[in-house]
Chain A
């Protein structure tokens, strides 16, 4: 679902299309920004300025929303999205160590993107799949029963383009 970096519109008026989709209602600002992010992979500044002007909403409000909600990204994302669950159960079962290992191995800060633009790393509070804890989601695919070793291996394989099928342990 996530795009791979910014796709330039090529003359296509993406902001206009999105505005029309929601009948230019100011209350639909968040769904509009969600759609924009889906199209672009992130929220480019030019588009946000454009959206604010044409919707008649102060740019400060747009940025308030963009920075308040964790799912919005103001910078281009990597080729693959790692969502690591650090909810209570995953944490109790070792997700903290996995997060540290991913940070070191791929030089990526939580919420950030690795220097080679391979991975964007988002630790999230809970993905609601506690029977699989610790669980990691890469590009919408769930990997359960992770350890530091299996998590790193899974990601190395993905980076190398050879993702192995995961048999999630219980």
Chain B
């Protein structure tokens, strides 16, 4: 390992530095990569890393091995993840007790520990499909998920696992490979070569033109062409100019930005520095969400390392170019993901958005020209510079180029982070990569675009995913959250959940958003309580139109989406609640009843004992029954029954 004692003084020095790093690597050393992303860390991966490091030390005489941490590998469902090289042996669901086996068998003897390999699992309740209708067109889950391997077959490397095989990684390329706490690791993998290329022979104009040509669009949700934004900022009058990285990832169910900031912070810094050079800025800010302490830690460390090596600061790589980055933590306000609200927050004010006709590229932070992009957008830039705009533009669809990272979550079997070329169908993402629905349930909808996105039903599963197609369906790309919902999800309740969220997060500046969203929540609560009135759906639609028209920022403008899309695709569920006073998914309390299945009931008496109104009767060894006239529908019996004999009907 090279001690970073002095700065890298020129572009050619960076090359030499990298060559020295590569040469210093002993090819015989076995490496053990342990994921310390939030998902794996929560399941104890830091302890696993510590134990593996200790084992490497203790057995240093017998075998040369090194244990290192990496950022999120994406397959959070199967964490903690440990990868051993040579061979790229992919171990999943590793526990502390497995460390000794991994070290002895794989690291020392080069053998595979079979039980830790990935295997497709049969579902807890008896396999996939169950003959229920799967993702539209009457296909079962198993059919829709073609391409998955036969159940039970062990996979030795990530490349063999269906979850990874279909992905194409650009923004996440280094996640799971480099050590996010080491700048040497990033440089050895080719990091900062794009910055060197830019500073060495490209004019700012050429950089802007290259990004324009790549067709890259903003990954934060708006999908505005990145190159055009850079150009406007470059041409804007006024100085100083600012560059901002938006890492205020507020959409529930989305953790792409988190994983990039935690797992590969240098890619964000490199992209931002290239942008600063292109637009003519000397000061950058990264605004990180308050709930992401590890992202702050890794970014701060990365910035310190860059300053030490002369990759940030006064005279970057000896070219005279000057740029530095400061990190600001958010305060826990969703609206601050909006660009003008974020800038207000950076100025020390409450995060209230302002009208968009004053462009931030001309009048942004402190009223100066400002270029703001999402951190994922910046992390994509080095690859575009290195491999060329044409290469990037060859991936994706007509209007949406490249790849996009999605966080695939909800009732899907393989929860995790996936990066796919734009234009892949929802079906392929949910069923092939995601492995279909958990517990053999039927697919109902996939929600994209965060709280102000929309719910897309099964009949549109073959839609190619890109900015424009999702908008056509009444949803949006957003930052890339993809929440899968199954038949047990009540769509009216989901709309209520999102509107509740938006009501809490509305900054209160625009009356339409502040009062209108609250009014919609009021109506939705009424419907879910079985007190809906005729005309409620029409009232909701009228409010949606008004709020969309009369709000300043994206939060208010898109607040109607969850309601509009559920009315559009699941109108019958609204009608069932309002007219029949029934919740078809049996979620809304009071809109369904409980019954005991006499075949499953073991007459254990637990439900009887726990019923707060004593309305369950039955004798020993005889199936129990519920007295519907007294039942208050509290659901205690349903929660307490150990045999699943209490049914919702």
Residues 622-649 of chain B, each 1 if its beta carbon lies under 8 Å from chain A, else 0: 0000000000000000010000000000
Our pick among B332, B347, B407, B489 for the contact of A69 (Cβ within 8 Å) is B332
User: Are the C-beta atoms of A132 and B332 separated by less than 8 Å?
Assistant: no
C-alpha gap A23/B498 in the complex (Å): 41
Q: Tell me how far the C-beta of B509 lies from the nearest C-beta in chain A, rounded to whole angstroms.
A: 11
User: Are the C-beta atoms of A70 and B410 separated by less than 8 Å?
Assistant: no
Q: Is B253 located at the chain interface by the 8 A CB criterion?
A: yes
Nearest A residue to B47, CB-CB: A165
Q: Is B255 located at the chain interface by the 8 A CB criterion?
A: yes
| Stretch from A4-12, A74-82, A86-94, A156-164 that touches the partner | A86-94
Chain A residues positioned under 8 Å from B131 (CB to CB): none
| Stretch from A13-21, A112-120, A121-129 that touches the partner | A121-129
User: Are the C-beta atoms of A30 and B331 separated by less than 8 Å?
Assistant: yes
Residues 40-54 of chain B, each 1 if its beta carbon lies under 8 Å from chain A, else 0: 011110000000000
Q: Is B411 located at the chain interface by the 8 A CB criterion?
A: yes
Q: Is A28 located at the chain interface by the 8 A CB criterion?
A: yes
User: Are the C-beta atoms of B333 and A68 separated by less than 8 Å?
Assistant: yes
Q: Tell me how far the C-beta of A169 lies from the nearest C-beta in chain B, rounded to whole angstroms.
A: 9
A170 in contact with B253 given A124-B332, A131-B39 (CB within 8 Å): no
Nearest A residue to B249, CB-CB: A128
C-alpha gap A86/B501 in the complex (Å): 10
User: Are the C-beta atoms of A70 and B333 separated by less than 8 Å?
Assistant: yes
Nearest B residue to A68, CB-CB: B350
Our pick among B38, B329, B409, B639 for the contact of A133 (Cβ within 8 Å) is B409
User: Are the C-beta atoms of B409 and A71 separated by less than 8 Å?
Assistant: no
Nearest B residue to A63, CB-CB: B350
Q: Tell me how far the C-beta of A54 lies from the nearest C-beta in chain B, rounded to whole angstroms.
A: 14
A130 in contact with B348 given A87-B252, A89-B410, A125-B334 (CB within 8 Å): no
| Stretch from B14-22, B76-84, B308-316, B384-392 that touches the partner | B76-84
Chain B residues positioned under 8 Å from A144 (CB to CB): 42-43
User: Are the C-beta atoms of A128 and B38 separated by less than 8 Å?
Assistant: yes
* Tally of B interface residues using CB under 8 Å: 58
User: Are the C-beta atoms of A130 and B76 separated by less than 8 Å?
Assistant: yes
Residues 129-147 of chain A, each 1 if its beta carbon lies under 8 Å from chain B, else 0: 1111101000010111000
A70 in contact with B331 given A92-B410, A130-B409 (CB within 8 Å): yes
Residues 467-505 of chain B, each 1 if its beta carbon lies under 8 Å from chain A, else 0: 000000000000001010100010000100110010001
Nearest B residue to A126, CB-CB: B252
Q: Tell me how far the C-beta of A102 lies from the nearest C-beta in chain B, rounded to whole angstroms.
A: 16
Q: Is B416 located at the chain interface by the 8 A CB criterion?
A: yes
Chain B residues positioned under 8 Å from A69 (CB to CB): 330-333, 350-351
Instruction: Give chain B interface residues in 283-312, CB to chain A under 8 Å.
Output: 290-293
Chain B residues positioned under 8 Å from A92 (CB to CB): 410-411, 483, 485, 489, 494
Q: Is B536 located at the chain interface by the 8 A CB criterion?
A: no
Q: Is B214 located at the chain interface by the 8 A CB criterion?
A: no
A64 in contact with B350 given A87-B252, A89-B410 (CB within 8 Å): yes
Q: Is B28 located at the chain interface by the 8 A CB criterion?
A: no
A28 in contact with B348 given A88-B497, A128-B254, A133-B409 (CB within 8 Å): yes
Q: Is A26 located at the chain interface by the 8 A CB criterion?
A: yes
User: Are the C-beta atoms of A88 and B483 separated by less than 8 Å?
Assistant: yes
Residues 23-59 of chain A, each 1 if its beta carbon lies under 8 Å from chain B, else 0: 0001111110010000000000000000000000100
C-alpha gap A71/B349 in the complex (Å): 15
Chain A residues positioned under 8 Å from B290 (CB to CB): 71
Chain B residues positioned under 8 Å from A72 (CB to CB): 331
Our pick among B44, B411, B497 for the contact of A91 (Cβ within 8 Å) is B497
Known: A65-B349, A124-B291, A126-B250. 14 other contacts (CB 8 A): A27-B366, A30-B345, A68-B333, A70-B331, A70-B332, A71-B332, A89-B483, A92-B485, A126-B291, A127-B291, A142-B41, A144-B43, A170-B79, A170-B93
Question: Which residues in A have some Cβ–Cβ distance to B below 8 Å?
Answer: 1, 26-31, 34, 57, 61, 64-65, 68-72, 83, 86-92, 124-133, 135, 140, 142-144, 148, 167-168, 170
Interchain residue pairs with CB less than 8 A apart (7): A31-B329, A68-B331, A71-B330, A87-B252, A88-B498, A128-B249, A167-B95
